[in-house]
């Protein structure tokens, strides 16, 4: 079964359409990337899937079930999102401990703090950070809390919006390894937005390239490695990444 | 005259916590001329705190001390908050790591850029409008006329970053501190925006402190690189010489980067025990 199916999805904000006819399928256990121009609608697609924007037409199916934008069911046990902006997505007056244990409490899951400790360790934060507030942490530390929170409920599907762009490569490597491991162990599915093609190459099987609200191409990791895209814009992105290496 | 733009000696930033005082910047020293200096380092190593300390923007109960702390002949240690407010924006400006947080949520993009322009020069309404659009174009925003009317929560991550950069360049400061200014942008837009900053810096002879975790970017857009780890400077190098870095931390960073044709099943991570001994 596919985890996500989007058919001819159009998404708008206050009647201004920003995503035009997007279609893609992400298989269960697959890791799929959305890349492309800034402002092209990548975050918008994730937000529509997880119910943060209901102004869309077309079809969204999650695990075979059609999503009805007017009757949202709670999908938080199935799917979790990590937002692009770790500053805005953490509650400023809640400690890390509260932020992480809250999803468990809400879903009536009993836990004596073991899972909080486990998830903090998994994202490379030691126990010193457990009772800190967001403003007492660096940008990358906050992002890791956001990732840990998304993992608390052991979702099947993770929507990740630039999960490692605030992180230096060493922490990024730890998080990417963790995501890859989770995928192997728990058959997790990822839909990941990133502007970083090497990250796609490491973590994803396929990628969709977006430009001006449209998906211009869906390609495989193999095409990415060889730089054999069909669309000029994808090729442009590839070329730009290729030139980038420590002098 | 080789006047130093910034001189920092023994800069320390300390926060009280449950477990006692924590020093997050541990007595670092560096000078800056009208050049491009990069600060790289692991998440939590104190890069942003160093940048904020220069603007004296460390929130209480955090404390900043320095033996020497001089910007263009002005002793920052002796500046009152009121005097600092005059320096900020006008002579030293900072692109914050959290751009959307730093924009005023109740003003449209157009109004906030216009406000920044007005404090800098007198312009007619028409000139203002044109200039706003021009600035947005310069940072490669598509459809600038539409974006100008949006509010901060309505722009994408990468658009927010570029708007912030446009605003910080308006006053033509002597020193620009840019904290992860392009982390949400793809490589090609990143290059265009950094080229824009770069041109301005050369043209006006400004100084730049570029805070980044991206070694590629730093190699291309800085002259000199400071590598920070756990609040200390562990290595200083010319950017061109970065691949010869000797500190295990810097070498570790270079290895941890994924590649376009990645085949490794696991990325090497850092063995922090090698240098965390201090
Ligand atoms: N709440 C909103 N109201 C109006 N327009 C919006 C809103 N949120 C996003 N948009 C617009 O939708 C378009 C797509 O934005 P989106 O955030 O999906 O881009 P993105 O591909 O994630 O870009 P980035 O890589 O810069 O984060 C942009 O033009 C943006 O201005
Ligand atoms: N209010 C505070 N109280 C205690 N510790 C703090 C406070 N604010 C920041 N810190 C700590 O100071 C250290 C340095 O933070 P800083 O924001 O400078 O890191 P950074 O190098 O910019 O990291 P990143 O790349 O993740 O943004 C971090 O370990 C952070 O947890
Ligand atoms: Mg986005
Ligand atoms: Mg920082």
The confidence score (pLDDT) of residue B169 equals 87
Q: What is the pLDDT of residues B178-231, one digit of tens each?
A: 998 888 888 778 888 899 899 989 998 999 999 988 888 888 899 999 999 899
Residue B91 has pLDDT above 50, yes or no: yes
CB contact under 8 A, A138 and B43: yes
| B25, B213, B250: best to mutate for the A interface, most A CBs within 10 A | B213
Q: Model pTM?
A: 0.89
Residue A164 has pLDDT above 90, yes or no: no
Share in percent of chain A as helix, strand, coil (round to 5): 40, 25, 35
The confidence score (pLDDT) of residue A56 equals 96
Residue B277 has pLDDT above 50, yes or no: no
CB contact under 8 A, A139 and B97: yes
Please state, in angstroms and rounded to a whole number, the distance separating the CA atoms of residues A63 and B58: 48
Q: What angle do CA A247, B138, B152 make, to 5 degrees?
A: 105
Find the A84 Cα to ligand 3 centroid distance in Å: 6
| Mean pLDDT confidence for B236-262 | 83
The confidence score (pLDDT) of residue A218 equals 98
Candidate from A236, A240, A247 with C-beta closest to B219: A247
Strand segments (E) across A171-247: 189-193, 206-211, 214-220
Residue A184 has pLDDT above 80, yes or no: yes
CB contact under 8 A, A202 and B44: no
CB contact under 8 A, A39 and B18: no
Please indicate whether residue A39, judged by its CB atom, sits closer than 6 Å to ligand 1. yes
Predicted confidence band of residue B29 (pLDDT cuts 50, 70, 90) = very high
Q: What is the pLDDT of residues B95-140, one digit of tens each?
A: 988 776 778 889 999 999 998 888 877 888 899 899 999 999 988 8
In the stretch 158-187 of chain A, residues with CB closer than 8 A to chain B read 161-162, 165-174, 176-177, 180
| Mean pLDDT confidence for B230-237 | 93
What is the percent of chain B with per-residue pLDDT over 70, rounded to a whole number?
96
Mean pLDDT of chain A: 90
Q: What angle do CA B251, B50, A247 make, to 5 degrees?
A: 35
- Provide residues with CB under 6 Å of ligand 2: A 135-141, 168; B 15, 17, 22, 24, 41, 43-49, 62, 97, 213
For every residue of chain B, which 3-state class applies, written as one string? CCCCCEEEEEEEEEEEECCEEEEEEEEEEEEECCCEEEEEECCCCCHHHHHHHHCCCCCCCCEEECCEEEECCEEHHHCCHHHHHHHECCCEEEECCCHHHHCCCCCCHHHHHHHHHHHHCCCCHHHHHHHHHHHHHHCCCCCHHHHHCCCHHHCCHHHHHHHHHHHHHCCCCCEEEEECCCCCCCHHHHHHHHHHHHHHHHHHCCEEEEECCCHHHHHHHCCEEEEEECCEEEEEEEHHHHHHCCCHHHHHHHHCCCCCCCCCCCCCCCCHHHCCCC
CB contact under 8 A, B185 and A137: no
Predicted confidence band of residue B1 (pLDDT cuts 50, 70, 90) = very low
Nearest residue CA, atom 18 of ligand 2?
B46
Q: What is the pLDDT of residues A103-145, one digit of tens each?
A: 999 999 888 889 999 999 988 898 989 999 998 888 888 888 9
**Could you say which ligand is closest to the alpha carbon of residue A138?**
2
The confidence score (pLDDT) of residue A28 equals 95
A13 shares contact with chain B (CB less than 8 Å): yes
Nearest residue CA, atom 16 of ligand 2?
B46
The confidence score (pLDDT) of residue B259 equals 83
Find the A98 Cα to ligand 3 centroid distance in Å: 27
CB contact under 8 A, A238 and B260: yes
DSSP one-letter code for A113? S
The confidence score (pLDDT) of residue A71 equals 78
Predicted confidence band of residue B155 (pLDDT cuts 50, 70, 90) = very high
Please indicate whether residue A172, judged by its CB atom, sits closer than 6 Å to ligand 1. no
Residue A246 has pLDDT above 60, yes or no: no
Predicted confidence band of residue B252 (pLDDT cuts 50, 70, 90) = confident
Please indicate whether residue A13, judged by its CB atom, sits closer than 6 Å to ligand 1. yes
| Mean pLDDT confidence for A172-198 | 90
- Residue from B109, B158, B159, B165 to probe ligand 1 pocket by mutation (most atoms less than 8 Å from CB): B159
A29 shares contact with chain B (CB less than 8 Å): no
Least confident of A9-18, A135-144, B49-58, B264-273: B264-273
What is the percent of chain A with per-residue pLDDT over 90, rounded to a whole number?
64
Q: Greater confidence, B252 or B75? A: B75
Residue A97 has pLDDT above 90, yes or no: yes
| Range with top average pLDDT, A67-71, A128-132, A140-144, B50-54 | B50-54
CB pairs under 8 A between A and B: 167
Predicted confidence band of residue A63 (pLDDT cuts 50, 70, 90) = very high
A141 shares contact with chain B (CB less than 8 Å): yes
Q: Greater confidence, A76 or A130? A: A130
CA distances from B93 to A159, B165, B168, B187, B206 (A): 35, 10, 6, 24, 11
Least confident of A1-5, A27-31, A124-128, B53-57: A124-128
B213 shares contact with chain A (CB less than 8 Å): yes
Residue A247 has pLDDT above 60, yes or no: no
Q: Greater confidence, B186 or A222? A: A222
CB contact under 8 A, A176 and B141: no
Residue A171 has pLDDT above 50, yes or no: yes
CB contact under 8 A, A170 and B40: no
The confidence score (pLDDT) of residue B237 equals 92
Closest atom of ligand 2 to A140 CA is 26
**Could you say which ligand is closest to the alpha carbon of residue B40?**
2
The confidence score (pLDDT) of residue B278 equals 33
The alpha carbon of residue B209 is apart from the nearest alpha carbon of chain A, in Å, by 17
Contacts with B253 from chain A: Cβ below 8 Å: 168-170
Residue A86 has pLDDT above 70, yes or no: no
């Amino acid at each position: 079964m596919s985890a996500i199916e989007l058919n001819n999805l159009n998404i708008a904000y206050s009647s201004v359409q920003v995503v035009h006819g997007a279609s893609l399928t992400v298989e269960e256990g697959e890791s799929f990337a959305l890349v492309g121009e800034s402002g092209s609608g990548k975050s918008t697609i994730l937000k529509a899937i997880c119910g943060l924007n209901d102004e869309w037409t077309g079809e969204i199916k999650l695990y075979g079930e059609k999503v009805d934008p007017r009757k949202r069911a709670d999908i938080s046990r199935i799917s979790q999102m990590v937002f692009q902006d770790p500053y805005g997505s953490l509650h400023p007056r809640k400690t890390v401990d509260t932020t992480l244990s809250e999803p468990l409490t809400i879903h009536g899951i009993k836990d004596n703090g073991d899972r909080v400790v486990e998830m903090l360790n998994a994202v490379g934060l030691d126990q010193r950070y457990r009772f800190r507030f967001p403003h007492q942490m660096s940008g990358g530390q906050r992002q890791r809390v956001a990732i840990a929170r998304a993992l608390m409920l052991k979702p099947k599907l993770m929507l990740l919006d630039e999960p490692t762009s605030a992180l230096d490569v060493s922490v990024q490597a730890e998080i990417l390894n963790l995501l890859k491991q989770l995928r192997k162990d728990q058959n997790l599915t990822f839909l990941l937005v990133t502007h970083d093609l090497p990250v796609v190459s490491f973590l994803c099987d396929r990628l969709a390239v977006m430009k001006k609200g449209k998906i211009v191409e869906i390609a495989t990791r193999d095409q990415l490695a060889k730089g054999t895209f069909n669309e000029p814009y994808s090729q442009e992105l590839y070329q730009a990444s290729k030139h980038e290496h420590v002098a | 005259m080789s006047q130093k733009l910034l001189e920092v000696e023994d800069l320390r930033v300390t926060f009280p916590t449950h477990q006692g005082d924590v020093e997050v910047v541990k007595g670092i020293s560096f000078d800056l001329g009208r050049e491009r200096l990069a600060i790289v380092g692991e998440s939590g190593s104190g890069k942003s705190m160093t940048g904020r300390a220069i603007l004296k923007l460390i929130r209480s109960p955090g404390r900043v001390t320095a033996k020497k702390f001089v910007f263009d002949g002005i002793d920052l240690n002796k500046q009152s908050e009121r005097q600092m407010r005059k320096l900020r924006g006008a002579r030293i400006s900072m692109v914050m790591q959290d751009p959307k947080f730093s924009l005023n949520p109740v003003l449209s993009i157009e109004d906030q850029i216009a406000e920044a322009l007005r404090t800098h020069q007198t312009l007619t309404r028409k000139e203002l409008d044109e200039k706003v659009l021009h600035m947005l174009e310069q940072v490669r925003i598509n459809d600038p006329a539409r974006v100008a009317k949006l509010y901060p929560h309505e722009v994408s991550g990468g658009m927010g970053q570029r708007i912030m950069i446009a605003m910080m360049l308006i006053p033509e400061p002597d020193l620009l501190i840019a904290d992860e200014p392009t982390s949400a942008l793809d490589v090609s837009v990143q290059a265009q925006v950094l080229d824009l900053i770069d041109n301005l810096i050369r043209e006006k002879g400004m100084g730049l402190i570029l805070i980044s975790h991206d070694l590629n970017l730093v190699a291309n857009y800085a002259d000199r690189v400071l590598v920070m780890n756990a609040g200390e400077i562990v290595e200083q190098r010319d950017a061109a010489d970065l691949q010869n870095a000797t500190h295990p931390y810097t070498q570790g960073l270079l290895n941890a980067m994924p590649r376009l044709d990645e085949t490794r099943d696991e990325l090497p991570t850092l063995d922090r025990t090698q240098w965390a001994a201090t």
